[in-house]
Amino acid sequence: MVVPRNLAELVEKSETIVVGHVVSARTEKHPEFSNLDTVVVTLKVSDTWKGSAGPTFSFRQYVWDIRDRYDAIGYRKGQEVLLLLVRPSRYGLSSPAGLQQGRFRIVRDPQGRKYAVNGFQNRGLFEGVESQARQKGIDLSPGAIHLVETHPGGPVALEQLKQLILQLTARD
Protein backbone atom coordinates (compact mmCIF):
# COMPACT_ATOMS: atom_id res chain seq x y z
CA MET A 1 0.00 0.00 0.00
CA VAL A 2 1.47 3.35 -1.04
CA VAL A 3 0.26 6.93 -1.03
CA PRO A 4 -0.93 7.87 -4.54
CA ARG A 5 1.50 10.32 -6.17
CA ASN A 6 1.25 12.25 -9.41
CA LEU A 7 4.13 12.77 -11.79
CA ALA A 8 5.11 16.17 -10.34
CA GLU A 9 5.42 14.61 -6.87
CA LEU A 10 7.36 11.61 -8.18
CA VAL A 11 9.78 13.87 -10.05
CA GLU A 12 10.26 16.07 -6.98
CA LYS A 13 10.97 13.07 -4.73
CA SER A 14 13.45 11.51 -7.15
CA GLU A 15 17.16 12.22 -7.18
CA THR A 16 17.91 10.28 -10.36
CA ILE A 17 15.71 9.63 -13.38
CA VAL A 18 17.10 7.16 -15.91
CA VAL A 19 16.03 5.10 -18.89
CA GLY A 20 17.90 1.90 -19.57
CA HIS A 21 17.97 -1.84 -19.93
CA VAL A 22 18.29 -4.18 -16.97
CA VAL A 23 21.67 -5.90 -17.18
CA SER A 24 21.17 -7.86 -13.97
CA ALA A 25 18.89 -8.12 -10.98
CA ARG A 26 19.94 -10.37 -8.15
CA THR A 27 18.48 -10.92 -4.72
CA GLU A 28 20.98 -10.84 -1.87
CA LYS A 29 21.21 -10.02 1.80
CA HIS A 30 22.11 -6.46 2.76
CA PRO A 31 25.89 -6.30 3.38
CA GLU A 32 25.43 -4.73 6.85
CA PHE A 33 22.13 -6.27 7.92
CA SER A 34 22.00 -9.98 7.19
CA ASN A 35 18.30 -10.19 8.03
CA LEU A 36 17.33 -7.75 5.23
CA ASP A 37 16.63 -9.09 1.77
CA THR A 38 17.49 -6.73 -1.07
CA VAL A 39 17.69 -6.78 -4.82
CA VAL A 40 20.65 -5.21 -6.60
CA VAL A 41 19.66 -3.90 -10.02
CA THR A 42 22.20 -2.85 -12.66
CA LEU A 43 21.13 -0.91 -15.73
CA LYS A 44 22.80 -0.07 -19.00
CA VAL A 45 21.75 3.59 -19.13
CA SER A 46 20.51 4.99 -22.43
CA ASP A 47 19.33 8.38 -21.12
CA THR A 48 19.48 10.39 -17.88
CA TRP A 49 16.71 12.93 -17.29
CA LYS A 50 17.63 14.02 -13.76
CA GLY A 51 20.74 13.65 -11.62
CA SER A 52 23.81 11.89 -12.87
CA ALA A 53 24.37 8.34 -13.98
CA GLY A 54 27.20 6.79 -15.94
CA PRO A 55 26.82 4.25 -18.73
CA THR A 56 25.93 1.69 -16.08
CA PHE A 57 23.98 2.43 -12.93
CA SER A 58 23.26 0.20 -9.94
CA PHE A 59 21.02 0.53 -6.94
CA ARG A 60 19.97 -1.65 -4.02
CA GLN A 61 16.27 -1.93 -3.14
CA TYR A 62 14.75 -3.46 -0.03
CA VAL A 63 12.51 -6.46 -0.67
CA TRP A 64 9.26 -5.83 1.22
CA ASP A 65 7.38 -8.97 0.29
CA ILE A 66 9.02 -12.35 0.88
CA ARG A 67 7.57 -13.59 -2.43
CA ASP A 68 9.60 -10.94 -4.29
CA ARG A 69 12.86 -12.60 -3.22
CA TYR A 70 12.27 -15.21 -5.90
CA ASP A 71 11.68 -12.89 -8.84
CA ALA A 72 13.97 -9.92 -8.00
CA ILE A 73 10.90 -7.70 -7.50
CA GLY A 74 9.99 -8.21 -11.16
CA TYR A 75 13.15 -6.75 -12.71
CA ARG A 76 14.10 -8.87 -15.73
CA LYS A 77 17.35 -9.01 -17.66
CA GLY A 78 16.94 -7.13 -20.95
CA GLN A 79 13.82 -5.29 -19.78
CA GLU A 80 13.74 -1.61 -20.74
CA VAL A 81 12.66 0.66 -17.88
CA LEU A 82 12.25 4.28 -16.86
CA LEU A 83 13.05 4.71 -13.16
CA LEU A 84 12.45 7.75 -10.95
CA LEU A 85 14.73 6.82 -8.04
CA VAL A 86 14.84 8.40 -4.61
CA ARG A 87 18.12 9.37 -2.93
CA PRO A 88 19.77 6.31 -1.37
CA SER A 89 19.37 6.05 2.39
CA ARG A 90 22.38 6.06 4.69
CA TYR A 91 22.25 2.27 4.38
CA GLY A 92 22.55 2.40 0.60
CA LEU A 93 18.92 1.52 -0.11
CA SER A 94 16.95 3.22 -2.84
CA SER A 95 13.74 2.53 -4.73
CA PRO A 96 11.54 4.10 -7.36
CA ALA A 97 9.63 7.07 -5.94
CA GLY A 98 6.19 5.79 -4.96
CA LEU A 99 7.49 2.25 -5.58
CA GLN A 100 5.52 0.93 -8.59
CA GLN A 101 4.35 4.48 -9.40
CA GLY A 102 7.90 5.57 -10.27
CA ARG A 103 8.88 2.42 -12.14
CA PHE A 104 7.83 2.30 -15.78
CA ARG A 105 8.13 -0.56 -18.24
CA ILE A 106 8.97 0.61 -21.75
CA VAL A 107 6.88 -1.17 -24.36
CA ARG A 108 6.72 -0.81 -28.14
CA ASP A 109 3.74 -0.73 -30.42
CA PRO A 110 3.76 -2.63 -33.76
CA GLN A 111 5.34 0.43 -35.46
CA GLY A 112 8.20 0.43 -32.92
CA ARG A 113 7.10 3.56 -31.03
CA LYS A 114 7.98 3.50 -27.33
CA TYR A 115 5.45 3.87 -24.54
CA ALA A 116 5.84 3.91 -20.76
CA VAL A 117 3.49 2.34 -18.25
CA ASN A 118 3.93 2.12 -14.49
CA GLY A 119 2.67 -0.49 -12.04
CA PHE A 120 -0.65 1.36 -11.71
CA GLN A 121 -1.25 1.58 -15.47
CA ASN A 122 -0.49 5.33 -15.12
CA ARG A 123 -3.79 5.90 -13.28
CA GLY A 124 -3.70 9.27 -11.50
CA LEU A 125 -0.24 10.04 -12.89
CA PHE A 126 -1.23 13.43 -14.30
CA GLU A 127 -3.88 14.56 -11.80
CA GLY A 128 -2.98 18.01 -10.45
CA VAL A 129 0.33 18.21 -12.32
CA GLU A 130 -0.46 21.45 -14.14
CA SER A 131 -1.43 23.33 -10.97
CA GLN A 132 1.59 22.02 -9.06
CA ALA A 133 3.88 23.09 -11.89
CA ARG A 134 2.30 26.53 -11.95
CA GLN A 135 2.81 26.87 -8.17
CA LYS A 136 6.53 26.25 -8.73
CA GLY A 137 6.69 28.83 -11.51
CA ILE A 138 6.94 26.25 -14.28
CA ASP A 139 5.02 27.02 -17.46
CA LEU A 140 4.20 23.75 -19.16
CA SER A 141 4.19 23.63 -22.94
CA PRO A 142 0.84 23.37 -24.75
CA GLY A 143 1.64 19.74 -25.57
CA ALA A 144 2.34 18.94 -21.92
CA ILE A 145 -0.87 20.65 -20.82
CA HIS A 146 -2.83 18.65 -23.39
CA LEU A 147 -1.25 15.43 -22.11
CA VAL A 148 -2.00 16.06 -18.43
CA GLU A 149 -5.55 17.22 -19.16
CA THR A 150 -6.59 14.44 -21.54
CA HIS A 151 -4.61 11.27 -20.83
CA PRO A 152 -7.06 8.66 -19.53
CA GLY A 153 -4.47 6.25 -18.10
CA GLY A 154 -2.60 3.41 -19.71
CA PRO A 155 0.61 3.67 -21.73
CA VAL A 156 1.91 7.14 -22.58
CA ALA A 157 4.31 7.94 -25.42
CA LEU A 158 7.82 7.90 -23.95
CA GLU A 159 8.85 11.05 -25.81
CA GLN A 160 5.84 12.97 -24.44
CA LEU A 161 6.61 11.75 -20.92
CA LYS A 162 10.25 12.76 -21.34
CA GLN A 163 9.34 16.28 -22.41
CA LEU A 164 6.98 16.67 -19.44
CA ILE A 165 9.53 15.32 -16.94
CA LEU A 166 12.24 17.62 -18.33
CA GLN A 167 9.88 20.58 -17.91
CA LEU A 168 9.14 19.53 -14.33
CA THR A 169 12.87 19.27 -13.52
CA ALA A 170 13.65 22.71 -14.97
CA ARG A 171 13.61 24.33 -11.50
CA ASP A 172 15.49 21.56 -9.66
The pLDDT > 70 percentage for the chain reads 94
Distance of alpha carbon 142 from the chain centroid: 24
The count of domains in the chain is 1
Is residue 135 a part of any domain in this protein? yes
* Domain annotation covers residue 83: yes
Q: What would the pLDDT profile of 146-169 be if each residue is shown by its tens digit?
A: 999 999 899 999 999 999 999 999
Query: Model confidence over 6-49: pLDDT tens digits?
Result: 999 999 999 999 999 999 999 999 999 999 999 999 999 999 99
The reported pTM is: 0.94
* DSSP structure string for 24-37: EEEEEE-SS-TT-E
Residue 113: is its pLDDT beyond 70? yes
129 within some domain: yes
> What is the secondary structure of 96-125 as a DSSP string?
BTTGGGGEEEEEE-TT--EEEEETTTTTTT
Residue 1 lies in a domain: no
Domain assignment present for residue 143? The answer is: yes
What pLDDT is stored for residue 145 in this prediction?
95
Domain range spanning residue 34?
7-168
When computed from its CA atoms, the radius of gyration of the chain, rounded to whole angstroms, is 16
DSSP one-letter code for 15? S
Distance CA 123, CA 127 (A): 9
Please report whether residue 2 resides in a domain: no
pLDDT at 127: 96
Average pLDDT over residues 49-63: 95
